[in-house]
Structures are given as structure tokens and as C-alpha cells.
Structure 1
Amino acid sequence: MTPDVGAIAPTDHDPLRLGVVVGSTRPGRRADAVLDWVRPRAASRPALDVAVVDLADHDLPQLDEPAPARHGAPIHAHTRRLAAAVAPLDALLFLVPEYNHSLPGVLKTALDLLSDEWADRAAGLVTYGADAGGARAGEHLRAILGELAVATVQQQVGLSFVEHAPGGVLAPTARHEAQLGVLLDQLERWGGALRVLRRPAGVLA
């Protein structure tokens, strides 16, 4: 599927449209605390226009499109709604919990349902888990995003809910704050560079 950028195609002078993708739908999830930390810091940057893509709002079943995303238009309304949420974005920031040393199935399904809507965008990862800060989920996600032609930036933030959530309340450290700042810096640079690849012919900077 090719995004319908049409008349809304951005130029280099417009803020980057950053999608914060919430990769958990579990009841009682800790993603909301991570989102509450990340979103205001991203939204405070004049260069970023932040939108939240919460997979809990999309009610995605297991992969149910008859044609692979690279080879056919979606037939289901839930896939079209997800495509409409992702296609306008210039960069992506995934909030990813680690489940059994990998990423949640619902996030893998969301990635598998689309193709062009993810491609040629920069992405950053904020991962979280019990002990390793979601590092293994991040490793798996980077491999999947590479296959989708998504360019992941180097910086990653990893939060341990054992070490960094005393009493169950998320408390990122100064190191996490600095890492998130670097991650957002990298997304601004890479997102701006990759946006040029998706600019329709005739649209000037």
C-alpha cells in the first residue's frame, strides 16, 4: 500500500510528525506510565508534532489479510484504520515491553499488517521489562523493522520496572532523561532526512 500523501505532503520547514507507538494492549499495562514520561518530552520540541498510535485502540486480530502487505491492498477495516494512522507519520517511537524475551504479539501483528506505511521512516525504541530493561525485545524489534525498511536510530532507552519503579511508580533516572534526549535528537535528524525519500515529485523543500 502506498500512503496517499497528496496535498498534505510536508516540506522541510514543517514539524516532523512523530508517532509514539504503544506496543502493549495488556490490561493493567505499564505502557501508560512510560507514555506519560515520553510524550511530554517529545511534545516540548518545536521540531516534532506528536501523535500517539495506541494499539489498544485498534483491536487487531491475528494476521487475517489474505494477501501479504507488500503485494495487495487490505480488505479489512481494522487494517485500513491502522494504515491511516501510520501513513502520515515521518518518524516512529516504539514503546515496547519485553514478554518472554521478545516483543508482544500484537505489535508483531501490527507490523505484519502493513508495509509501505512503515517503510523509509526513522524509528527509536523505548523498551521496558522486569530485569534487562526490555533489551531482548528491542533486539528482535530492530530485526523486524530492518526487514520493513525502517531505519532504527542507535540510541535506545531501557527501563527496568525492578530497578526504576520503586513502589510501582516509574522513576526514570537522569541517565534515562539524557538517553531519551539523544534518542529524540537522532529521530529529528534521521526523520528529516528520510522524509525526503517519500516526498512526491514536484514538492519542494
Structure 2
Amino acid sequence: MHTTDSLRVAVIIGSTRAQRFGPTVAEWFHDHALEHGGLDLDLIDLVETGLSEVLGDPDDAVEALAPRLAQADAFVIVSPEYNRGYPASLKTAIDSYVDEWKAKPVGIVSYGGVSGGLRAAEQLRQVLGELHAVTIRDTVSFHSCWNKFDDSGRPLDVAGASAAATTLLNQLTWWARALRTARTAQPYPF
């Protein structure tokens, strides 16, 4: 239930590849966010949305996801880095919506090889800024992620990962409350 005290946060798993690592990272972050408290979380796995890789007229999948995004006070995108960028499935999901992103904060949790997905995160900042979203400066990133989680899906450096996630969530909730108050007081100009 969405109340004025709780914040609705959509956590989006950005990869749709068969052998993806995204659900491991996203489920850990989701659990950490639950412990953080005060959040009404909506875990959105792009595999389950039916969004196609081809943009066009709004279809049933786009229309079905729109209310979930519109109801969010904030977003956390969990993205891998593929070839120095983020996946096409995530680009499709972002580009299929406009108003749903406006004047809302977005945190980024990235993972990948040596860069930990940080190059994908920087590209996401550019795209999300164009949609009038506010990206959170601090991120959570997992370098060489396949070697950083145990068999139960928990980070091996749980203290470091938890500290980074807490910092991101503290900043995200501050921005979410401030922007929700501002949107309520006066519609965002565009």
C-alpha cells in the first residue's frame, strides 16, 4: 500500500539475456532495500514485461508497464555493462516512456567485468537526464561480479556492498521525498 510516508521504488532488472547475472544482483539489492525500511518496492524484471526490442506504436506490454512506472516515486536500475554500454532491452524500456521518468530520482546499481558497469552507468546518466530524471551521484557497482557473490546470492564483501547500497538509498529517498513534494505542489514544467 502506498502511503505518504512510504516511497514507492521500482527496481528494474535491465538485462534480458538467458545467462544473465542481473537477478542475483537485483534480488540482493531488493532485500537490502527492504531492510532499509520505508520503501514500497516493485521489482520489475524486463524479461517478464514482454517489451520488444523494436520501438513502435504502444503495444500491450508498454501499456501494462506504464502504471507501475508512473506510480513510482523513484527508480533503481540494475544494469550490466555489455561492450562498454547498457543493454538494448533497457534502452527500449527507457525510451518507451517519457512522463513516467520526469522529475523522479534514479539510482544505478551496475555490474560487469573490470569496470563494474560504470561505463554503462555513465551512459544511463546522459539518457535519463534527457528525460528530466535526476540520477543519484553515488552508485553500487560490482567489478568482476561473477566472483563477488556466494552460492546463496550474497556479496562476499557484504559490508562494502551494504555500505554502498545504504548510501545510494539514503540519497535516493531524500531526492524522492523532495521531488514528490515539489511535483505535488506544482506540476513539473516541460
Do they fold alike, i.e. is TM over 0.5? Answer: yes
Task: Choose from 136, 157, 163 the match for 1:178.
Answer: 163
Q: Which amino acid aligns with 1:179?
A: A
More divergent stretch after superposition (143-152 vs 172-181): 172-181
| Change over 3 Å in CA distance of 1:170–1:26 after alignment to 2 | farther
2:172 paired with 1:192: no
Pick aligned residue for 2:8 from 17, 20, 28: 17
Matched residues in 1 for 2:70 and 2:109: separation?
21
State the AA in 2 paired with 1:45: H
- State how 1:40-189 maps to structure 2 within 5 Å: 40-66=31-57, 74=58, 76-160=59-143, 161=145, 163-165=147-149, 171-173=155-157, 174-189=159-174
> What is the alpha-carbon distance in structure 1 between the residues aligned to residue 48 and residue 33 of structure 2?
21
Which residue in the other structure is 1:4 paired with? none
- 1:32 and 2:26 matched: no
| Helix, strand or coil at the partner of 1:118 | coil
CA contact (8 A) 2:150 2:156 kept: no
**What root-mean-square deviation, in Å, do the aligned CA atoms of Structure 1 and Structure 2 show?**
2.2
Any stretches of 5+ residues in structure 2 without a counterpart?
Answer: none
**Shift in CA distance, 168/16, structure 1 to aligned 2, threshold 3 Å:** closer
When Rg is computed on C-alpha atoms for both structures, the one with the higher figure is: 1
Q: Deviations over 1:93-125 (max 9, x none)?
A: 110000110000000011111000111111101
The answer as to whether partners of 2:22 and 2:80 remain within 8 angstroms in 1 is yes
TM-score by length of 1: 0.82
Question: Under a length normalisation based on structure 2, what TM-score does the superposition of the two structures give?
Answer: 0.88
Q: Which amino acid aligns with 2:26?
A: L
Map Cα deviations across residues 100-158 of structure 1 (whole Å, 9 max, x no partner): 10000000011111000111111101000021110111010111110011101111011
Give the secondary-structure state (helix, strand or coil) at the position aligned to 1:99: coil
> More deviation in 112-121 or 166-175?
166-175
Question: Which runs of no fewer than 5 residues in structure 1 stay unpaired?
Answer: 1-7, 67-73
